[in-house]
Amino acid sequence: MQECWSRCAGHRMVTTDGTSVLVVYPGIRADSRGPDYKDAVLSVDSGVAVRGDVELHLDSGDWSRHGHDADPSYDDVILHVVGRNTAEPGSASTRKRRIPVAILSGPVVLPGFATLPCSSLSDDEATLYRKLGRAGVVRLLTRARTIARRCASEAPRQTMAHRFSRALGYSANGGMGETLGLRLSEPQLNGRLLRCAEEERRSIVLGVAGLLPSQRRRAGLRVAADAPECEAHWRSVESEVCALDPLGWRLRGLYPNNSPVRRMAALADLWPHMDELAETTVDVVLRLAHQPRLCARDLEDGVRWHGSDYWRIHSDFGIATRESDVIGAGKAREVVVNALLPYVAAIAMCRRDPSLLRSVVRLYTSYPAAHVHAVTGHMWRQLGARRTNATADVEQGLVHLFTAYCRHGRCRQCPLVNS
């Protein structure tokens, strides 16, 4: 069923209540707890496009047997696809609404139904990479424009802190990471963080994030161990600061070393260095943009972080993991591509410095790509293309196409299929 659903673009289905549903985009297969497919696009009877998640089951009764009706992770499901329908009509529901049910059977499981137009491109590899690279540069400059608007009203360290916090959160927790960065930048709290010792700073940052054991327990989440020293530090400022909701973080279904608890502890360690990072990043690009490998090494060395003894071997309080740098080589590269280079491009825009902007773009289009993640891996499979020596602009182009076109069902406007 998983494989079949991934090839259902263009297929029309009828739900058990008689509604006609056209699968515009089947979505991206999730690799964690929650619905099977995310960001699917459907067109219902009225022709209105609906975007959300899709859950697949062999039997419709599995929805309630698996507890999805009481799980907020399934609140955004727009279609329950089943192999056989044995439950009562309308049995698939969440706390918000009833979920339409469609049966995946008959001719659907046979080959030959319509596929996405980008899955059979006639482009050679060089042409495809050129198109993807252009899309990647669009993503870079779009981000830079957004950052440049913030630079007009923020100090450089604030802007860098927001981008850095978001990048540490990955796609799963990027929004929460950026919100945390905004809150930590508030003058009174920022001043305290810059004055206090490491342990106290980590405690306060995790407390503002809502990730301390006591905060998560109050929200109904399980925690493996207590952290009395951290809690004591947090209590000294708790009444002065509004903490984030622990339920806003995705804590399950992640690779252990990507735990937001571990990443936000790293953010606390690097918080005092945001001024230096903002200055040296621009300087490194100015000096070394014509030497991409050397520039990449210097930029990544600036954000790699060894970490404290505890967080080198723990992904959460009381949960051990293999020892590694808290921000290793792979994550450092992602931070450079997603935070540092857009920041420098924004500075170039603010300074009206076309030379610096060209340097950033030149570096970006030759910068080594980061590791394949859920979206880029999905897009390479969707295009049926090989990933050979891809650069950062190509990989970011895949992300841009997915976020701007695929997940909105905008195939006709996609630059890959519309010259």
Sign for the CA dihedral angle at 367, 370, 376, 380 comes to: positive
- Our CA angle for 385, 389, 394, nearest 5°, is 65
Same domain, 81 and 188: no
Region of residue 184 (left: phi > 0; alpha: psi -120 to 50; beta: else): alpha
The verdict on residue 408 lying in a domain is no
Q: pLDDT at position 94, please? A: 67
Same domain, 87 and 213: no
Q: Residue 163 in contact with residue 339, Cβ under 8 Å?
A: yes
The verdict on residue 409 lying in a domain is no
Report how many domains make up the chain.
2
Q: Please list the helix, strand and coil fractions of the chain in percent, rounded to the nearest 5, in that order.
A: 55, 10, 35
Q: Residue 21 in contact with residue 43, Cβ under 8 Å?
A: yes
Closest CA to 286 of 347, 332, 339, 329: 347
Same domain, 90 and 195: no
The verdict on residue 97 lying in a domain is yes
Same domain, 221 and 82: no
- Other C-beta atoms within 10 Å of 114: how many? 12
Same domain, 79 and 226: no
Cα distances from 148 to residues 162, 234, 303, 361, 392, in angstroms, run 13, 34, 22, 16, 21
Give the structural domain span for 50. Answer: 2-115
Fill in the DSSP letter of residue 196. S
The verdict on residue 412 lying in a domain is no
Same domain, 266 and 344: yes
The verdict on residue 397 lying in a domain is no
Token pair for 319: 């949960």
Q: pLDDT at position 89, please? A: 60
Q: Residue 51 in contact with residue 407, Cβ under 8 Å?
A: yes
Closest CA to 259 of 325, 180, 174, 316: 316
Give the distance, in angstroms, between the CA of residue 123 and the centroid of all CA atoms in the same chain.
29
- Other C-beta atoms within 10 Å of 344: how many? 26
Same domain, 205 and 281: yes
DSSP lists the bridge partners of residue 320 as 314
Fill in the DSSP letter of residue 118. G
Q: pLDDT at position 113, please? A: 42
Angle between helices 260-270 and 156-168 (to 10 degrees): 160
Same domain, 314 and 204: yes
**Domain-terminating residue out of 115, 139, 171:** 115
Same domain, 259 and 355: yes
The verdict on residue 129 lying in a domain is no
CA atoms lying within 13 Å on the CB side of residue 83: 8
Q: pLDDT at position 289, please? A: 82
Q: pLDDT at position 96, please? A: 66
- Rounded distance, CA 369 to CA 391, Å? 5
- Rounded distance, CA 345 to CA 52, Å? 33
Fill in the DSSP letter of residue 337. I
Same domain, 210 and 296: yes
Q: Are strands 77-84 and 101-103 parallel, antiparallel or unpaired?
A: parallel
Token pair for 287: 């000096």
Same domain, 221 and 316: yes
Same domain, 209 and 87: no
**Domain-terminating residue out of 115, 131, 162:** 115
The verdict on residue 375 lying in a domain is no
* Residue showing tokens 């209105």: 48
Per-residue pLDDT tens digits of the chain, which is 419 residues long: 888 888 888 888 888 888 899 999 999 988 767 899 999 999 987 778 899 999 999 998 898 888 888 887 888 899 999 988 887 665 667 666 788 899 887 555 444 445 788 877 788 889 999 999 999 999 999 999 999 998 888 888 899 999 999 999 877 899 999 999 999 999 999 999 999 999 999 999 999 999 999 999 999 999 999 999 999 999 989 988 899 999 999 888 788 888 999 999 999 999 999 999 999 999 999 998 888 889 999 999 999 999 999 999 999 999 999 999 999 999 999 999 999 999 999 999 999 999 999 999 999 999 988 888 889 999 998 888 888 888 999 999 999 999 999 999 998 899 998 76
**Domain-terminating residue out of 59, 90, 115:** 115
**Stated pTM of the model:** 0.87
